[in-house]
C-alpha cells in the first residue's frame, strides 16, 4: 500500500512522496520547476557556506580567534601563492609560520609574496606519510588545483615530479615540538599528510587542524566520515567552519555532501579554544565541555 489511514484520511507511508512531491517528480523537466530546483541548490550552497574567500567564509574568524591565544607555530600545508600565510602573519604577527608548496612554479610566487615577512619559512616540498617523490598534475593557469590525483579538471595540465617528506620528520629536523594550528589545502592528500604527523598526534602536540573537504574526496576515497573517525581516535572534536563560528558536532550521513569547503578539528583538552570557536556569546552556543564530552562519548 502507498498510504496508511489516520482518522479516516489517507496519509503517505514512510518513504512515499506527498502529492506535491509526486507532481514535482513527474514534471521535473518543466522549465519553471528546473529553475526552482536551481534556486534551491544555490540557496543550499549559500546556507552551507560554499565559499573560498578566506576573508568572509570563516577562515579569518578562525585566525582572529586563534590570535587571541597568542599562537607560536602555524603550519600552512598547501600554501599555493601565500594568501593564507600572509593573512595568518597579519593576524598573528608573533607566530612563526612554516609554509609548504609542493609545485616549484607556484613556490616561486609564494617565496616572492612572503619574502618580507619575519619568521615565515617557505619550503618547496610537500608533506605526506613517507618521504620520497610523487607525480603531480600541475595546472599552469590554475595552480591551486594542482593535485596528485586523477581528478577530472577540464583544464590543461602538465606532469611534474615533486619531493615530499613527513610532518614528523620536518618538525623534528626544525626543532618544532608543538603546532598551534595546522592548516591543510592539499587537493586530496589529506589522509597522507595526517598520517605523516602520527608521532605528533600521539603526544597531543597539535592543537587545531583546518582542512578542506569537497568533491576531490570522492577521488581520494577519504570521506568526511573518515576525517571524523581519524580525529575522534586522536581525541579531537570536529566541525564545519562558518563566517563567525565553528559548528562542532558528531558525524551524520547527511553531512557527506562534498560541499565543504573548510572544517576544523580541535583537541578536546583545549576547552578555551572550543568555547571561543563555537561562537561565544551566542544564545545557541553549547558549552565547550558539553561539546567535547558529548562528541567523544558517542564513540565509546
CATH number at residue 205: 3.40.50.150
DSSP 79: -
Tallying the residues shown for the chain, one arrives at 300
Q: Residue 2 falls within a domain, yes or no?
A: no
Please write the tens of the pLDDT for every residue from 247-291. 999 999 999 999 889 999 999 999 999 999 998 544 344 444 554
What is the pLDDT, as a whole number, of residue 284? 43
- Whose grid coordinates read 513527474? 26
Angle at 185 between CA 187 and CA 105, to 5 degrees: 80
Dihedral (CA of 57, 232, 187, 107) sign: positive
Domain count, the chain: 2
Model confidence at 155, in pLDDT bands (50, 70, 90)? Answer: confident
Dist CA 17 CA 110 (whole Å): 53
Q: Residue 74 falls within a domain, yes or no?
A: yes
Q: Residue 293 falls within a domain, yes or no?
A: yes
- Quick one: 218 and 74 in the same domain? yes
What is the pLDDT, as a whole number, of residue 298? 46
What is the pLDDT, as a whole number, of residue 187? 87
- Quick one: 171 and 34 in the same domain? no
Q: Residue 49 pLDDT more than 50?
A: yes
What is the pLDDT, as a whole number, of residue 162? 87
Beta bridge partners of 161: 135
Phi, psi of 285 (to 5 degrees): -75, 135
Q: What is the pTM assigned to this prediction? A: 0.84
Average of per-residue pLDDT across 202-230: 94
Q: Which three cell numbers stand for residue 10?
A: 489517507
Q: Which three cell numbers stand for residue 289?
A: 565541555
Q: Which three cell numbers stand for residue 247?
A: 559548528
- Contact, 25 vs 17, CB < 8 A? yes
Dist CA 10 CA 14 (whole Å): 13
More confident residue, 24 or 159: 24
Residue 141 belongs to domain spanning: 59-297
Phi, psi of 84 (to 5 degrees): -70, -40
Amino acid at each position: 500500500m502507498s498510504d496508511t489511514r489516520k482518522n479516516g484520511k489517507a496519509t503517505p507511508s514512510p518513504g512515499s512522496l506527498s502529492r506535491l512531491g509526486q507532481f514535482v517528480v513527474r514534471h521535473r523537466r518543466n522549465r519553471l520547476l528546473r529553475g526552482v530546483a536551481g534556486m534551491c541548490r544555490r540557496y543550499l550552497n549559500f546556507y552551507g557556506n560554499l565559499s573560498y574567500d578566506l576573508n568572509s567564509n570563516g577562515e579569518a574568524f578562525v585566525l582572529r580567534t586563534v590570535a587571541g591565544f597568542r599562537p607560536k607555530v602555524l603550519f600552512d600545508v598547501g600554501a599555493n601563492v601565500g594568501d593564507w600565510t600572509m593573512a595568518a602573519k597579519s593576524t598573528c604577527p608573533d607566530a612563526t609560520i612554516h609554509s609548504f608548496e609542493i609545485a616549484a612554479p607556484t613556490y616561486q610566487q609564494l617565496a616572492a609574496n612572503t619574502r618580507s615577512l619575519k619568521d615565515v619559512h617557505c619550503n618547496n616540498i610537500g608533506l605526506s606519510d613517507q618521504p620520497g617523490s610523487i607525480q603531480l598534475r600541475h595546472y599552469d593557469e590554475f595552480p591551486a588545483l594542482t593535485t596528485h590525483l586523477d581528478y577530472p579538471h577540464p583544464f590543461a595540465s602538465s606532469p611534474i615530479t615533486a619531493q615530499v617528506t613527513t610532518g614528523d620528520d620536518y618538525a623534528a629536523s626544525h626543532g618544532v615540538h608543538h603546532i598551534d594550528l595546522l592548516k591543510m589545502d592539499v587537493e586530496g592528500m589529506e589522509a597522507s599528510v595526517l598520517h605523516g604527523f602520527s608521532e605528533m598526534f600521539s603526544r597531543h602536540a597539535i592543537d587545531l587542524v583546518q582542512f578542506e573537504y569537497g568533491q576531490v574526496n570522492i577521488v581520494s576515497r577519504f570521506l568526511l566520515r573518515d576525517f571524523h573517525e581519524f580525529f575522534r581516535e586522536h581525541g579531537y572534536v570536529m566541525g564545519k567552519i562558518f563566517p563567525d563560528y565553528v559548528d562542532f558536532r558528531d558525524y551524520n550521513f547527511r553531512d557527506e555532501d562534498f560541499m565543504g569547503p573548510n572544517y576544523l578539528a580541535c583537541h578536546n583538552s583545549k576547552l578555551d579554544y572550543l568555547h571561543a570557536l563555537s561562537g561565544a556569546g551566542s544564545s545557541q552556543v553549547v558549552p565547550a565541555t558539553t561539546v567535547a564530552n558529548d562528541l567523544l562519548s558517542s564513540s565509546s
